[in-house]
Amino acid sequence: MSQISLKNINKIYKNQEYSLNALRDLNLDIEKGEMIGIMGKSGSGKSTLLNILGLIDQPTSGEYQIDGKIISDYTPKEIAHLRNKKFGFVLQDFALIERYTVVENVKLPLRYSDVPGVERMPKVYNLLEELGLYEKKDMLPGYLSGGQRQRVAIARALINDAEIILADEPTGALDSSTGKEIMNLFLKMKQKGKTLIIVTHDKEIADYCDRIVTIHDGSI
Ligand SMILES: Nc1ncnc2c1ncn2[C@@H]1O[C@H](COP(=O)(O)OP(=O)(O)O)[C@@H](O)[C@H]1O
Ligand SMILES: [Mg+2]
């Protein structure tokens, strides 16, 4: 049983004016602990796929299974819980809250978790230490470099012990050597047993992955 299994997934975006088939009969299985790169031209459906994988959006048809369980059998509340517990998201523009310090940004997802209050700060500090950010803990994101900002975003994605990291162009706003630094961090996460799904259009970045799948017009 794969950790993730997509069968004949279709996603149609529709309104009065148009209807667009963003994913077409897409099939994909991902094993636990895999680091997979998703490549494809702009508009090919990569972000749509990532949003469906991360339970942010739902397919129009097809079946999505996580750990052998069919997602469409869950209630919206169960889906929200699964999303918070299972997935960590890393985006190209970091999506940090600029008026919050590094610590406050990383701590944010714990609000929705069942980690007891007294364990929260030690957990945040440990993770910041591990990602080489401890000295920056009380700074606002605006004072950090791009690579440091992305590491804060990665810490935030990991604080809930997510098993699966979904990254949409995580190195897109970084120079090439900082991008490689981030990929090495992802490799470290992989060694700890995390599953990583990384969208990129950079072949050099994709080469860090165990496997690359390419999307054309919504299919692999
Ligand atoms: N919310 C939306 N509503 C309508 N069309 C969308 C929406 N999101 C994406 N699309 C369209 O779906 C296609 C795939 O988009 P996307 O998944 O963002 O591609 P990629 O990430 O590969 O650039 C594009 O044609 C895009 O314009
Ligand atoms: Mg995209």
Pair 144, 137: CB distance under 8 Å: no
Ligand 1 neighbours, Cβ below 6 Å, are 13, 20, 22, 40, 42-48
The per-residue pLDDT for 83 is 92
pLDDT greater than 80 at residue 158 = yes
Alpha carbon nearest to ligand 1 atom 6, residue:
13
CB proximity list for 80: less than 8 A, separation 6 or greater: 55
- Interatomic CA distance for residues 153 and 78, integer angstroms: 25
Q: For 108-129, what is each residue's pLDDT tens digit?
A: 989 878 889 899 999 999 999 9
Q: Which of 9, 11, 17, 20 has the most ligand 1 atoms within 8 A of CB, as the residue to mutate?
A: 20
| Ligand closest to CA 49 | 1
**Section 27-40 average pLDDT:** 97
Alpha carbon nearest to ligand 1 atom 24, residue:
43
Q: Which of 15, 18, 24, 47 has the most ligand 1 atoms within 8 A of CB, as the residue to mutate?
A: 47
> How far does residue 47's CA lie from ligand 2's centre (Å)?
4
Q: Where are the beta strands (DSSP E) in 57-202?
A: 61-66, 69-70, 87-91, 164-168, 195-199
Q: For 62-79, what is each residue's pLDDT tens digit?
A: 999 999 999 999 999 999
For the record, the structure tokens of 2 come out as 């794969």
> How far does residue 155's CA lie from ligand 2's centre (Å)?
22
**Section 8-17 average pLDDT:** 94
- Interatomic CA distance for residues 71 and 78, integer angstroms: 9
DSSP letter assigned to residue 176: H
Supply angle C-alpha 15, 213, 26, rounded to 5: 40
Q: Which of 218, 217, 186, 219 is nearest to 36 (CA)?
A: 186
Give, as residue ranges, everything with CB less than 5 Å from ion ligand 2: 46-47
Confidence of residue 95 (pLDDT cuts 50, 70, 90): confident
Q: For 47-63, what is each residue's pLDDT tens digit?
A: 999 999 999 999 999 99
> How far does residue 48's CA lie from ligand 1's centre (Å)?
6
Pair 212, 39: CB distance under 8 Å: yes
The per-residue pLDDT for 125 is 96
Query: What class is the 4-95+161-214 domain?
Result: alpha beta
